[in-house]
Amino acid sequence: MQPEPVKDNTATPFYGELQRKLIHYSSAAIPIGYMFITRETMLIILGGMLIAMFLFELAKYKSDFLFHLYKRLFRHMLREHEYDRSKIRINGASWVIFASIFCILLFPKLIAVTGLLMLTFADSTSALFGRLYGKKQYAPNRSYVGTAVFFAVGIIVLFAAPKYFGTPKEYILVLIAVILTTVADAMSIPIDDNFTIPVTCCTTMYLLYILLYPGIVF
- The one-digit pLDDT tens for each residue of the chain (218 residues) are 344 444 455 557 777 777 878 888 999 999 999 999 999 999 999 999 999 988 988 888 788 888 778 777 666 666 665 666 667 677 788 999 999 999 999 999 999 999 999 999 999 999 999 988 988 888 888 899 999 999 999 999 999 999 999 999 999 999 999 999 999 999 977 888 999 999 999 999 999 999 999 999 99
Q: What is the DSSP string of 116-178?
A: HHHIIIIIHHHHHHHHHH--SEEETTEEHHHHHHHHHHHHHHHHHS--SS--HHHHHHHHHHH
In the 8-state DSSP scheme, what is residue 3? P
Task: Name the residue ranges covered by the structural domains of the chain.
Answer: 9-212
Amino acid making up residue 49: M
Over residues 15-57, the pLDDT tens digits come to 777 787 888 899 999 999 999 999 999 999 999 999 998 898 8
Q: What is the pTM of this model?
A: 0.86
Could you give the CA distance from residue 172 to residue 163 in angstroms, rounded to a whole number?
12
Partners of 142 in the β-ladder: 139
Question: For residue 182, which of 153, 212, 160 has the smallest C-alpha distance?
Answer: 153
Could you give the CA distance from residue 98 to residue 119 in angstroms, rounded to a whole number?
13
Could you give the CA distance from residue 146 to residue 9 in angstroms, rounded to a whole number?
13
Q: How many residues does the chain have?
A: 218
